[in-house]
Amino acid sequence: MTADRETDEAVHIVLPARTELAATLRVIALSLGADLGFTVDDLDDLRLAVNEVFIAAASDASHDRVAISLRPDDSAIEVTARFESEGSIPLDDLALTILRSVVELDESDDGLTRFSKRASRGTP
Amino acid sequence: MTLVVSVPAGDGSATTVTLAPAVPDGRPTSLAGMADIGTQLDIADGDRGFVLAGEIDAHTAPMLEKSLAERLSSGSVHTDLDLRGVTFMDSSGLRVVVAATEALRAVDGDLTLVAPTSSVAKLIEVSGLSDHLSIASAG
């Protein structure tokens, strides 16, 4: 986290890598998306994507905690996730298929899992 | 368990909140309330299977897996899952559904997903499993 990030509307959350906490993360994502006027479909997509990344992290027994940032701007939310220690989050084929379908997944190999969800034009 | 959240404050700065147990081995008051937003899945017996309500995720999918396994072991090879009350399902739930479908078809049965909600239907579609699973509208 950099200083300028601390003055924006970003939400940073560090969670124990436990599947029961995925629900907490989904609620936060839904809240941020609703604030941006996301449609119901957009919200479903964002919730699913955030969830898939988190449960992929939680299924890796070698890491205890997951750091996730959700950064909203005018019409989109960028999400980054990583283990609090080191190491990228392993995503299996099904998770990748889902993410590629519902969000814009950045597949650059920089140790971060990163995607964005842009609000579609429609009735929220 | 310690949970750290950094949220924007009204003055443009950020506030970091750390939630930690108030006493060793005790459940902190601030986290106790979070249990209310944890995943819930109700599994009720239906005419030919189960009527589900709530969310099917990595935390609750094992409950569904157990119920389906018990039904299969009892000899019921045709099973319906009424999904009209399921507000969220992830890949964990989908894996349970696919595994149960394959197990039931192996004994000449089937698993039918009844009236999936739009979010569940979309998950099935984007996963490329629409043609693999049996899906029925509400009867």
The string of pLDDT tens digits covering residues A14-24 is 999 999 999 99
Torsion of CA A32, A38, A44, A45, to 10 degrees: -90
Position B12 pLDDT exceeds 60: no
Tokens of B63: 């409950």
- Across the interface, whether the CB atoms of A14 and B4 are under 8 A apart is answered yes
pLDDT band at B35 (very low <50, low <70, confident <90, very high): very low
- Mean pLDDT of all residues in chain B? 84
What are the residues whose beta carbons fall under 8 Å from the beta carbon of B114, sequence distance 6 or more? B80, B81, B82, B83, B84, B135, B136, B137, B138, B139
Strands (E), chain B: 3-8, 14-19, 41-45, 49-56, 78-89, 110-114, 134-136
Tokens of A65: 């905690």
Of B1, B14, B37, the CB nearest to A27: B37
Whole-angstrom distance, CA of residue A111 vs CA of residue A97: 19
Q: Is A62 exposed, middle or buried (0-12, 13-18, 19+ CB in 10 A)?
A: exposed
- Across the interface, whether the CB atoms of B126 and A14 are under 8 A apart is answered no
Distance from CA of B42 to the nearest CA of A (A): 16
Distance separating the N- and C-terminal Cα atoms of chain A: 31
Bridge partners of residue B16, in order along the sequence: B6
User: What's the DSSP call for residue B40?
Assistant: -
What residue type is A102 in one-letter code? V
Q: CA distances (Å), B122 to each of A76, B74, B98, B115, in order?
A: 21, 32, 15, 12
> Tens digits of per-residue pLDDT, B52-100?
999 999 999 999 999 999 999 999 999 999 999 999 999 999 999 999 9
- Across the interface, whether the CB atoms of B6 and A26 are under 8 A apart is answered no
Bigger pLDDT: B73 vs B4 = B73
Distance from CA of A83 to the nearest CA of B (A): 14
Q: What is the mean pLDDT of residues A58-83?
A: 93
Of B59, B95, B118, the CB nearest to A20: B59
Four-residue CA torsion sign, A37, A42, A47, A49:
negative
In this prediction the pTM is 0.83
Q: Is the CB of residue B35 less than 8 Å away from at least one CB of chain A?
A: no
Least confidently predicted of A79-83, A103-107, B15-19, B20-24 = B20-24
> Tens digits of per-residue pLDDT, B123-137?
999 999 999 999 999
Position B22 pLDDT exceeds 60: no
